[in-house]
Structure 1
Amino acid sequence: MNAANASEIEALRPFLEDRVAQLGSIAHIEKFGSGQSNPTYMLETSTGKFVLRTQPPGKLLKSAHRVDREFRVMRALAETEVPVPPVLFLADEDNPLGRMFYLMGHVEGRIFWDPALPEARHNEERAAIFDAMNATLAALHNVDVKAAGLEDYGKPGDYFARQYARWSEQYRTTETREIANMDRLIAWLGENMPPDDGQSCLVHGDFRHDNMIFATDRPDILALIDWELSTLGHPLADLSYQCMQWRLPHASAFKGLGGIERNKLGLPTEEAYVSRYAQRRGLSDIPHWNFYLAFAFFRLAAICQGVYKRALDGNASNPQKAEAYGQQVETMADLAMDLVEGA
């Protein structure tokens, strides 16, 4: 973490201490160095540790960086089978920082930055960690959104068509150079959009291993975090997004599972992972899988392009990592086109 980058949050001390009684007095504020979208800070106080997450400074893209949505969805999921941190306080723009932020409890545990899980104690634990992710994803998609008070959290139907329009527009808005395969991928997706099948559920939008906090002594997920991209959508968007890991090269900014001997590490195949998810949700088959995977590559490429553009504009939370992500846009477009042309 970088203490120097926490100086702007110092102005919030009296504001927070006056409004959140359980916070006590704030002793130390430190910025997490990881993450790209919404700057996140650790607060050490007289009563314990807390996490503050805020919108980034500067001009924001439409519908991006909605920390109020993160707060709402985690509060709604508190009584479900989906593990989330306890959320405590949400502030609108009328505060000393001048932009929205929220406060949540700190969850102590492990975060795995490498999907190959080199920190795991043995292959059985690696397999169990992947199975825990699979079970959590199925539990998320089985949440009764009406009972959770989230029936208005997104628009029903045509999820992929709407997401395609949104991310195509945002990619063009932040485009910094011409990438031929990105142009071809956008065209292919538009021409091969499957008909809407009516499936709708709560989706996380960024479901991957490093957005989960695991127990230190067992392969249990204690909290699923970073809900900025969550909405009501199609469950296969989350599944295909996570399954990109099997194809992304391990030697890249995203540290995928591509190019490593997964069977020697006890890791499941993509086919086995998808099959277990389908079993948990009672699905007989998953048609149009290549489309969903290609769409996942497209969407992540568009997100990374936006992060890269923010770095060029001087507003990235982690400029060095943002530049590395920007270099991966072409790689993701290439992988997606290899997938659809080899089908």
Structure 2
Amino acid sequence: MSQQLQGLDLPAVGARLADVLGDERWRQPSASLITGGKSNLTFRITSDAGTVILRRPPTGRILPKAHDMGREAKVQRGLADTDVPTAPILHEETTSELIGAPFYVMGDVPGYVIRDETPQEFATDEGRQALAWRLADTLAALHNVDLQAAGLTDYGRPEGFMARQVARWTKQWELAKDGEVPAVDELARRLAEGVPTAQADGIVHGDFRLDNCIVAPEQPPRVAAVLDWELSTLGDPLADLGMTLMYWSDPADPVAQMVPSVTGEPGYPDRAALAQRYAAGTGFDLEPLPYYEAFARLKFAAIAQGVSMRAKSGVMGDQEFADHGDVVPTLAEHGLAILDRK
């Protein structure tokens, strides 16, 4: 495989891995860019010593306060002894000296990343339902983590979290947009005016969905690792549930084109059932949930626009992304409809 992957100095990485992992076979690595990621670049590094995963920020211009590799590594280390499955952190590079950006290396957890189709061994009504329950239970486990025991009490500022989130993603939209979309502005305004009171403080993943998990190839289904912690912090846990439900397709939904979803297939429970499973594991009241579902549309609209901006400027490694057209206004209009329905 090529040693010229954008954003990766493979000989330098191989030498560093040989030193920190104590195995000279890492000096002869190969690498591939793992497709599917739309923000931080994720590489699979392979040698006769085994396989590891390297995460680094995208090349080129990035939005403020985004792509902090140190935070991703910290939360995964903190969760290592909890009920939340994560990949083991093997090495963290805190400076840009080696490859032009900080990065970290983690274990390559075997299993499925489920995007376009349900693996055959789970492709029954019972298997699909079991996958859904494992996802909901894993999210509940994350929000039940004892922050003190995990050493993560300083991982964020939960006070005022949702107000800051609305302001942050409104600003990210303003930075990334290439035209006016009145529905986004209206959604942001209404969300800023109606922030609910958090029922608890907890670790918020920020992008929790089925294809950000690795599912072990075994029966019954089991989440082997939760991936992509770049947006994680401390805050209102229902923000995560709102995002998860946005990604959880029901057949009649508007389609978020950037994120394929298998959950509209027969056998997967609907959003309401998934939310109730989560509530049973956390004890949270779901009455304010529509607010968080609407916020998820604002957040994803800003993310979608940011990805489009970076793709057009050629800073997404070897990956290519199409122009997403009407995704942003569709998301915003759906968010407004959710608020109106409430």
TM-score normalized by structure 1? Answer: 0.90
1:158-237 equivalences in 2 (<5 Å): 158-194=160-196, 196-197=197-198, 199-218=200-219, 219-237=221-239
Q: Which one of 108, 126, 129 corresponds to residue 128 of structure 2?
A: 126
In structure 2, the residue matched to 1:246 is 249
The answer as to whether partners of 2:158 and 2:236 remain within 8 angstroms in 1 is no
Hey, what does 1:21 align to over in structure 2? 22
Deviation at 1:324, TM superposition (A): 4.3
- Supply the distance in 2 between the matched residues of 1:14 and 1:50 (Cα, whole angstroms): 14
Q: 1:79 to 1:48 in 2, by over 3 A?
A: same
Aligned to 1:10: 10
- TM-aligned CA distance change 1:2 to 1:15, over 3 Å: closer
CA contact (8 A) 2:83 2:141 kept: yes
User: 2:10·2:30 contact (CA, 8 Å) conserved in 1?
Assistant: no
Q: Is the 8 A contact 1:91 1:100 kept in 2?
A: yes
Q: Aligned partners of 2:327 and 2:224: how far apart in 1?
A: 30
Residue identity in the other structure for 1:341: D
Quick one: structure 1 residues 306 and 139, their matched pair in 2 at CA, closer, same or farther if it must change by over 3 Å? same
- How far apart in 2 are the matches of 1:255 and 1:207? 14
Mapped partners of 1:207, 1:251: distance in 2: 15
Write the deviation string for residues 206-234 of structure 1: whole angstroms up to 9, x where unpaired. 10011111111221111111100010011
Structure 1 counterpart of 2:306: 306
Does structure 1 residue 338 correspond to structure 2 residue 340?
no
Deviation at 1:2, TM superposition (A): 8.2
**Which of the residues 110, 124, 131 maps onto 1:108?**
110
The one-letter amino acid of 2:192's match is: G
Percent identity at matched positions? 36
- Within 2, Cα distance between the matches of 1:150 and 1:110? 29
Counterpart Cα distance in 2 of 1:7 and 1:187: 38
- In 1, distance between residues paired with 2:114 and 2:68? 25
Change (3 A) 1:293 1:257: farther
- What is the rounded CA distance, in whole Å, between the counterparts of 1:63 and 1:224 in structure 2? 22
1:268-279 matched pairs, under 5 angstroms: 268-279=269-280
Alpha-carbon distance in 1 for matches of 2:257, 2:48: 41
Sort the Cα spacing of 1:197 and 1:53 in 2 relative to 1 into closer, same or farther, 3 A: closer
For residues 235-259 of structure 1, what are the alpha-carbon distances to aligned partners after superposition, in whole Å with 9 as ceiling and x for unaligned?
A: 101111111123554583323479x
8 Å Cα contact 1:200-1:235 kept in structure 2: yes
Deviations 1:81-131 (A, max 9, x none): 1000111100022432121000111011111003x7364331101000000
Kept in 2, the 8 Å contact 1:6–1:41? The answer is: no
Taking structure 2 as the reference length, what is the TM-score of the superposition? 0.91
Q: 1:206 & 1:338 partners in 2: Cα distance? A: 22
1:280 aligns with 2:281: yes
Q: Which residue of 1 aligns with 2:156?
A: 154
Q: Give the secondary-structure state (helix, strand or coil) at the position aligned to 2:314.
A: coil
Q: Secondary structure at the match of 1:232?
A: strand
Going from structure 1 to structure 2, the CA distance change for 1:139 and 1:7 (only over 3 Å counts) comes to closer
Q: Secondary structure at the match of 2:150?
A: coil
Deviation of 1:317 after TM superposition, in Å, equals: 3.9
Note the C-alpha offset of 1:50: 0.6
State the alpha-carbon separation in 1 of the partners of residues 310 and 296 from structure 2.
21
Q: 1:163 to 1:177 in 2, by over 3 A?
A: same
Distance 1:249 1:122, change over 3 A: same
Inter-partner Cα distance in structure 1 for 2:23 and 2:86: 19
**2:316 aligned residue:** 316
Shift of 1:20: 2.8
Match of 1:45 in 2: 47
* SS of equivalent residue, structure 1 residue 61: coil
SS at structure 2 position matched to 1:130 = helix
Distance in 2 of aligned mates of 1:254 and 1:324: 14
8 Å contact from structure 1 (residues 250, 256) kept in 2: no
Q: Distance in 1 between matches of 2:137 and 2:184?
A: 33
Letter in 1 for 2:92: L
Partner-residue secondary structure (3-state), 1:104:
strand
Query: How big is the shift at 1:59?
Result: 2.6
Quick one: which amino acid aligns to residue 161 of structure 1? A
TM superposition shift of 1:22: 4.8
Distance 2:21 2:191 in 1: 47
Is residue 3–residue 11 contact of structure 2 (8 Å, CA) maintained in 1? no
For 1:112 and 1:249, how far apart are their aligned partners in 2?
Answer: 20
Secondary structure (helix, strand or coil) at the match of 1:298 reads helix
- C-alpha separation between the residues in 2 aligned to 1:341 and 1:182? 15
CA contact (8 A) 1:15 1:95 kept: no
User: Shift of the alpha carbon at 1:57?
Assistant: 1.6
Mapped partners of 2:2, 2:325: distance in 1: 23
Residue 295 of structure 1 is matched in structure 2 by 295
Q: CA RMSD in A?
A: 2.3
